[in-house]
Amino acid sequence: MNGQFISFEGPDGAGKTTVLKEMVAYFEKEISGELVVTREPGGNPISEAIRKLILDPQNTMMDRRTEALLYAAARRQHLVEKVIPALQRNAVVFCDRYVDSSVAYQGAGREIGTDDVYKMNLFATEGILPNLTIYLDVPSEVGLKRIMNHRKNEINRLDLEKLDFHKRVREAYLALARQYPDRIKVINANQEEKVVQHDVRILLEEQLHSRLRG
Ligand SMILES: Nc1ncnc2c1ncn2[C@@H]1O[C@H](COP(=O)(O)OP(=O)(O)O)[C@@H](O)[C@H]1O
Ligand SMILES: [Mg+2]
Residue 124 has pLDDT above 60, yes or no: yes
pLDDT over 90 percentage in the chain: 90
Give the residue-averaged pLDDT of 176-183: 98
14 lines ligand 1 (CB under 6 A): yes
The pLDDT assigned to 178 comes to 98
Q: Name the residue with the closest Cα to ligand 1, atom 9.
A: 15
The pLDDT assigned to 84 comes to 98
> Which atom, in ligand 1's list, is nearest to the CA of 192?
1
Provide the pLDDT confidence category of residue 157 given band limits of 50, 70 and 90. Answer: low
22 lines ligand 1 (CB under 6 A): no
Provide the pLDDT confidence category of residue 153 given band limits of 50, 70 and 90. Answer: low
Residue 18 has pLDDT above 90, yes or no: yes
The pLDDT assigned to 24 comes to 98
Query: Would you kindly state where each structural domain of the chain is located, as residue ranges?
Result: 4-211
Give the residue-averaged pLDDT of 128-145: 96
Among 1, 2, 4, smallest CA distance to 209 is for 4
3-state secondary structure of 135: strand
Q: Name the residue with the closest Cα to ligand 1, atom 15.
A: 15
197 alpha carbon – ligand 1 mean position (Å): 12
214 alpha carbon – ligand 2 mean position (Å): 32
Architecture in CATH for domain 4-211: 3-Layer(aba) Sandwich (3.40)
Provide the pLDDT confidence category of residue 211 given band limits of 50, 70 and 90. Answer: very high
2 in Cβ contact with 183 (< 8 Å): no
The pLDDT assigned to 182 comes to 98
Q: Which residues surround ligand 2, an ion (CB under 5 A)?
A: 16-17
Q: How far is 201 from 184, CA to CA, in rounded Å?
A: 15
186 alpha carbon – ligand 2 mean position (Å): 17
Tell me the ligand closest to 9's alpha carbon. Answer: 1
Q: How far is 40 from 48, CA to CA, in rounded Å?
A: 9
> Which atom, in ligand 1's list, is nearest to the CA of 12?
23
166 lines ligand 1 (CB under 6 A): no
Alpha-carbon torsion 107, 113, 117, 119, what sign? positive
